[in-house]
Amino acid sequence: MKHTRPLLLLVSLVLLPALCRAADEGYGYPFQGSYEATIMQTPPALKPELPKKIRVEELVLDVIPDLKKPDVFFYNEGLRCTFAYQKEKAPLVFVIAGTGGSHKAPRLMTLMKALYQAGFHVIILPSPTHPNFVISASHTHIPGDLTDDAADLYWAMERAWLKVKDDIEVSDFYLTGFSLGGTQAAFVAKLDEERKSFNFRKVLMINPAVSLYNSIGQIEGLLDKIPGGKDSIVTFFNTTMDKFTKFYHRGEFVALNDEFLFKAFQEKLLSTEEEGGVIGTVFRTGSAGMIFASDVMTNGGYVVPKNRVLSNTESLTDYFWVAIHLSFFQYFDEYFLPYFQKKRPGLTREALIEAQSLKSIEGYLKSSRKFGVMTNENDFILKPGDLDYLRQLFGERAKIYPIGGHGGNFEYKDNLAYAVGFFK
């Protein structure tokens, strides 16, 4: 504890130039660029003070009974959720993780603590794009459709609630989600209007995508700018890692920690294009796991030979290598679209793209006062016009920060205070 003050001082000194610039706008988040904010996120000293120990446990849910799981996923025991609970009667907030995010995604653990501190129960669900969800909670095992994923999420939330409802007292239900999870929250809320299991009082969308197809275009676009283009994604990754190794050996670093990363950023080790490339690579790493899990579960013959039975000690390295080279567009056109066209003959590509957007339910979103949105002017997953659209849709319930990239300021103290305040 007593080391916090000098540390805080030190960090504010280091950040002083950045802070001065930001202070003009009255918002103290330090990283100006969209990509740098997304990578660096929030320095520890600028996060709020949160409880270290809270009442929390992991829920493992049997969401789809009698589900056959291939041997290669032998470690999957069911859907994993994080559950924080109060002793007293309190409102419960469901949280949906962002693309590829698990029930233990660090930024969501921070949000959970902030909500817990303010007196809420919290349940975090992994993203429907996370392999754990694709395998154990998706009825089709084909992630990416907002309507289907919302139905799976709702079903999973009901199972989670059944599991805990005898142990806690709940006054109201709330819902939030980050990134893709934010967009999904809107669709889950819409489903709740019919099913009425929770009657969510308020729904907060944090850094949501307006249109999934546009957002994947924005993310894929980051990889167009790396040397050699997106087909050289691994070469780019290896080169970048070599840069970091050399930088580490040049400097007087004792450990691979925040300080090291911050220094690397300060010295502009990576160009803006390379920072974008790193973000694109992280997304692709997540999608590789999602594609593989989906392909094995459906026996889809996309990257794994159809009818191949994988043992639990078999090498998966080649599948990883192939899957990380598949773009979101390829997934959409070669895997996702054919599945839906087979299910609904006559479905056009355009109609499927339209369905993956807030615009497809804008009538509902406009009519309901329960929604709020938090995002940033320089969130790169949004296209020009998306911000105006969100403002027009939600009016003063759209909180738009000037900087922060895609969720870089998620754990910044002002942002967490706003998110918690929204539910208060």
Partner 1 sequence: MPVTIRRIIIALSLAMSLTGCATTATLPPEVPPMHSVSEIKDERVAQSKDSWEGFNRTMYNFNYRLDKYFLLPIVSGYEFITPTFVQQGVSNFFNNIEETRNLTNSIFQLKGKQTLMTLGRFVTNSTLGIGGLFDVATPMGMPVRREDFGLTLGYWGCGPGPYLVLPFFGPSSARDGSGILVDAGIRYALVSAINPDVNIGDEWDTIHAGVTALEAIDKRHGESFRYYGTEYPFEYDMTRYFYTKKREFESSK
Question: What minimum distance in Å lies between the beta carbon of 306 and partner 1?
Answer: 4
Q: Does 75 bind partner 1 (CB under 8 A)?
A: yes
CA–CA separation, 80 and 132 (whole Å): 7
| Selected range binding partner 1 among 40-48, 61-69, 228-236, 404-412, rule: CB under 8 A | 228-236
Tell me the sheet residues that pair with 15.
none
**Window of 25-33, 262-270, 313-321, 391-399 that interacts with partner 1 by CB under 8 A:** 313-321
Looking at residue 357, the DSSP 8-state letter turns out to be: B
Q: Which of 10, 316, 351, 417 binds partner 1 (CB under 8 A)?
A: 316
Check: CB of residue 371 under 8 Å from CB of residue 201: no
List the one residue from 26, 305, 345, 346 that touches partner 1 (CB under 8 A).
305
Give the count of residues interacting with partner 1 (CB under 8 A). Answer: 55
Give SS3 for 154.
helix
By the 8 A CB rule, do 192 and 111 touch?
Answer: no
Select from 96, 216, 288, 398 the one that contacts partner 1 (CB under 8 A). Answer: 288
- Whole-angstrom distance, CA of residue 296 vs CA of residue 294: 6
Structure tokens given for 335 = 């895997």
- If one asks whether residue 321 binds partner 1 (CB under 8 A), the answer comes out as yes
Q: What is the CA radius of gyration of the chain?
A: 22
Minimum distance of partner 1 from residue 35's CB (angstroms) = 22
- Inter-CA distances, 222 with 26, 131, 347, Å: 30, 24, 30
Residue 283 in contact with partner 1, rule: CB under 8 A: no
Applying CB under 8 A, among 9, 241, 351, 417 the residue interacting with partner 1 is 241
Residue 320 or 364: which CB sits closer to partner 1?
320
Q: Is position 195 an interface residue for partner 1 (rule: CB under 8 A)?
A: no
Name the residue among 216, 211, 185, 210 with its Cα closest to residue 198: 185
Distance CA 235, CA 226 (A): 10
Of the pair 37, 61, the CB lying nearest partner 1 is at 61
Confirm if 205 and 374 have CB atoms less than 8 A apart: yes
Work out how close the CB of 246 gets to partner 1 at its nearest, in angstroms, rounded to a whole number.
Answer: 10
Question: Contact with partner 1 (CB under 8 A): which of 151, 188, 189, 293?
Answer: 293
Assess 304 for contact with partner 1 (CB under 8 A). yes
> Which two three-digit tokens encode residue 211?
């249109």
Q: x-or-dash pattern for partner 1, window 88-127, by CB under 8 A?
A: --------------x-------------------------
Side-chain-facing half-sphere of 238: CA atoms under 13 Å: 4
Tokens at residue 50, please? 């949160």
**List of residues contacting partner 1 (CB under 8 A):** 3, 72-76, 80, 102, 130-132, 135, 231-235, 237-238, 241, 245, 248-249, 254, 256, 288-289, 292-293, 295-296, 301-309, 312-322, 324-326, 334
